[in-house]
Amino acid sequence: MKIALIGYGKMGKEIRALAESRGHTIPLIIDVDNREDLTPESLKQADVAVEFTNPDAALQNIEACFDARVPVVSGTTGWTDKMDEVRKRCEEEKQAFFYASNYSLGVNILFHINRVLADIMNRYPGYEIMMEETHHVQKLDSPSGTAITLAEDILQRIDRKKKWVNRMTKRDDELSVISYRRDKVPGIHTVRYNSEMDTLTLTHSAKSRKGFALGAVMAAEFIVGKTGCFGMKDLLNL
Ligand SMILES: NC(=O)c1ccc[n+]([C@@H]2O[C@H](COP(=O)([O-])OP(=O)(O)OC[C@H]3O[C@@H](n4cnc5c(N)ncnc54)[C@H](OP(=O)(O)O)[C@@H]3O)[C@@H](O)[C@H]2O)c1
């Protein structure tokens, strides 16, 4: 398969190595210094594009792939307030779009367990809930896209929580999501239920970016030849 890379930072480089190790080729690499090369003509050299850039650039990049009718996998976080717009265009024009706030297999298993646990804990109001996420100091958005997914899944299931806030809170109807930025940490996410009697903790800790790259390349392999909007639930059958 031919994969165009949009964004050639830490993730773009990992994805290139992973994709080549699985026998794919990379006919096009777009980064900030050659943005003008992102045209329908250049994109059409590829079977699929994989986009890991920054929150201000993601929407424009995805639209460029739609303009070229090239399937697109995006992993950029911090722009998902525009997701409805993208999904609408994807459905209307029968394009192919794959999005995950976190491409790691372990995190997607954590998402699943988080939903199951929240359904159970809704019956036990004696447990206070809080979340923490820790990432490297260059991360632009906060809280992380993964933390937002975890928090929103909790809000949908725990009646006593109405919204998440990115700070410590004492309000019973708010869910604290605390962000830490430290050194080169690839990503740690924790959900904690604490009662007077005990503490129940779910934690996922990424060891490197390789797991994200593998998921993104698997997503690229998955959407070629399909139309519609997809996510990790479709890929992993969770
Ligand atoms: N979904 C997941 O599993 C997952 C995992 C890890 C990271 N992420 C997300 O993926 C994104 C990238 O992460 P990263 O660690 O690779 O960051 P990074 O090292 O900063 O890489 C981003 C790259 O995109 C470039 N870029 C910026 N604007 C662009 C544009 N308009 N067109 C093309 N390239 C552009 C940046 O160039 P400059 O540095 O020169 O601006 C940089 O080379 C972030 O949003 C991060 O949160 C997602």
- Report the first-to-last Cα separation within the chain, whole angstroms: 26
Res. 181 pLDDT band, cuts 50 70 90: very high
Percent of the chain with pLDDT over 70: 100
Mean pLDDT of 164-190: 97
Q: Which CATH superfamily does the domain covering 105-205 fall into?
A: Dihydrodipicolinate Reductase; domain 2 (3.30.360.10)
68 phi/psi in degrees, rounded to 5: -90, -5
Location of each CATH 3.40.50.720 domain in the chain: 2-103+210-236
Percent of the chain with pLDDT over 90: 98
Task: Check if 94 is active-site.
Answer: no
Q: Is 103 in the pocket of ligand 1 (CB under 6 A)?
A: yes
Per the residue annotation, which of 135, 161, 189, 204 is the catalytic one?
A: 135
Task: Check if 135 is active-site.
Answer: yes
pLDDT at 237 over 90: no
Location of each CATH 3.30.360.10 domain in the chain: 105-205
List, for residues 30-39, the tens digit of each pLDDT value.
999 999 999 9
pLDDT at 23 over 90: yes
From 13, 52, 103, mutation site for ligand 1 pocket: most ligand atoms within 8 A of C-beta: 52
Nearest atom in ligand 1 to the alpha carbon of residue 100 is 1
* Centroid of ligand 1 to alpha carbon of 13 (angstroms): 10
Rg (CA), the chain: 19
Between 19 and 238, the more confident residue is 19
Non-local CB neighbours of 21 within 8 Å, separated by 6+ positions: none
List, for residues 127-156, the tens digit of each pLDDT value.
999 999 999 999 989 999 999 999 999 999
Mean pLDDT of 102-108: 94
44 phi/psi in degrees, rounded to 5: -70, -10
Measured CA to CA in angstroms, residue 237 lies from 75, 108, 230, 231 at distances of: 19, 10, 12, 10
Give the class (CATH, top level) of 2-103+210-236: alpha beta
Between 238 and 6, the more confident residue is 6
pTM for this model (two decimals)? 0.87
Mean pLDDT of 77-100: 96
* Predicted pLDDT at 238: 79
How many C-beta atoms lie closer than 10 Å to residue 220's C-beta?
25
Residue 67 has, within 13 A of its CA and on its CB side, a CA count of: 12
